[in-house]
Amino acid sequence: MGHRATLRTMIAGLALLAATPGWGHAVSLDDAAGRYAIDRSSRIGFSVGQVGGGGISGKFTKFSGTFNLDQHDIGKSVVEFSLFPETVATGEPRVESFLRSRAIFDIKDFPQIVFRSTKISQTGENTAEIEGKLTARGTTRTERFQAELTKWNAHAISFHIKGNIYRAPYNMAVGIPIYSNVVQFDMTVNGVRR
């Protein structure tokens, strides 16, 4: 009940902030609940710091996924996401082919990186922590991401999601310590109601 009330207030607040005509009434979790497909307009960005400053940053341009916002309990919501590391884009072709190679993603043997949430807990008015299993290069580990609701309307919903992942446990340790072990994900995930 508590979760539901908070999310309801949050969505109502956002709707008011947006001050869009027609949004003048409070929105309930009942309204936001449902199944969403992760839209292509999402941005899956990452960066890896390097010694002395700077680093590599880029994004993945092909991915897919869905999420279910539970009508009664946000904790029962589920996120599923996969991305295709082949589509890594950094602006430097040699870096990209290195990332695709056996040194890092090994896209021939492991064409997908998959995340499936196991636990979602609300952490603030419009924030939540998503815990789940990340599988990359044949290794599965529990990871956490922080999500913030940034936009909502009757058809679509957006989150800003951040998370720091250690890459060495996934057999992607090359370049440490010149390049950081930590990969910082910074994503804008847009869901379109199905």
Where do contacts with other proteins occur on this chain (CB under 8 A)? 50-52, 54, 92, 94-95, 98, 101-103, 174-175, 177-178
CB 153 to other proteins: min, Å: 42
User: What phi and psi, each to the nearest 5 degrees, are found at residue 123?
Assistant: -115, -10
Q: Say how far apart CA 171 and CA 109 lie, in whole Å.
A: 13
Q: Which is nearer to other proteins, 47 or 126 (CB)?
A: 47
Q: Which is nearer to other proteins, 63 or 105 (CB)?
A: 105
Is the distance from CB of 152 to CB of 14 less than 8 angstroms? yes
Residues 6+ apart with CB under 8 A from 31: 11, 154
CB 94 to other proteins: min, Å: 6
Is the distance from CB of 180 to CB of 55 less than 8 angstroms? yes
Q: What DSSP string runs through 84-120?
A: -GGGEE-S-HHHHHHHHSTTTT-TTT---EEEEEEEE
CB 98 to other proteins: min, Å: 6
Q: Which is nearer to other proteins, 13 or 175 (CB)?
A: 175
Q: Which is nearer to other proteins, 124 or 138 (CB)?
A: 138
Q: Say how far apart CA 10 and CA 8 lie, in whole Å.
A: 5
